[in-house]
Homo-oligomer: A and B are copies of this chain.
Amino acid sequence: MRLIFLSSLLLSLVAADLFTAIADLEHMLGAEKGVANVIDDYIVAEQKRLNDLRKYAEEYTSRNLHAENVGPEFVTNPINAYLLIKRLTTEWKKVENIMLNNRAEGFIKNITETRSKSLVKFPGEDDLSGAAVALLRLQDTYKLDTADLSNGIIGGEKVSNKLNGHDTFEVGRAAYNQKDYYHCLMWMQVALNKIENENPKSVEESEILEYLAYSLYQQGNVRRALALTKRLAKISPNHPRAKGNVKWYEDMLQGKDM
A residues apposed to B, CB below 8 Å? 7, 10-11, 13-15, 17-18, 21-22, 25-26, 28-29, 32-33, 35-36, 39-40, 42-43, 46-47, 50, 53-54, 56-58, 60-61, 63-64, 66-68, 72-90, 92, 95-96, 99-100, 102, 104-105, 107-108, 122-125, 127-128, 131-132, 134-135, 138, 149, 152, 159-161, 163, 166-167, 170-171
Docked Cα-Cα span, A96 to B78, in Å, equals 48
Tell me the smallest distance from the CB of A160 to a CB of chain B, in Å.
4
Cross-interface CB contact of A42 among B53, B58, B81, cutoff 8 Å: B53
Residue of B nearest to A25 (CB): B75
- Can you name 17 extra interface pairs (CB under 8 A) apart from A11-B73, A35-B92, A78-B138? A10-B76, A11-B76, A25-B81, A25-B84, A32-B64, A32-B84, A39-B53, A43-B54, A43-B57, A79-B159, A79-B163, A83-B160, A88-B122, A89-B123, A89-B125, A96-B108, A102-B104
Residue of B nearest to A105 (CB): B100
A85-B123 in contact given A47-B50, A78-B13 (Cβ < 8 Å): yes
A18-B81 in contact given A33-B64, A64-B33, A88-B28 (Cβ < 8 Å): yes
With a CB–CB cut-off of 8 A, which chain B residues contact A100? Answer: 102, 104-105, 108
Docked Cα-Cα span, A163 to B135, in Å, equals 68
Docked Cα-Cα span, A83 to B21, in Å, equals 14
Tell me the smallest distance from the CB of A55 to a CB of chain B, in Å.
10
Docked Cα-Cα span, A174 to B74, in Å, equals 23
Tell me the smallest distance from the CB of A8 to a CB of chain B, in Å.
10
With a CB–CB cut-off of 8 A, which chain B residues contact A42? Answer: 53, 99
Which of A13, A18, A85 has the most CB atoms of chain B within a 10 A radius of its CB?
A85
With a CB–CB cut-off of 8 A, which chain B residues contact A78? Answer: 10, 13-14, 17-18, 131, 134-135, 138
Docked Cα-Cα span, A42 to B50, in Å, equals 9
Which of A77, A132, A149 has the most CB atoms of chain B within a 10 A radius of its CB?
A77
With a CB–CB cut-off of 8 A, which chain B residues contact A86? Answer: 128, 131, 167, 170
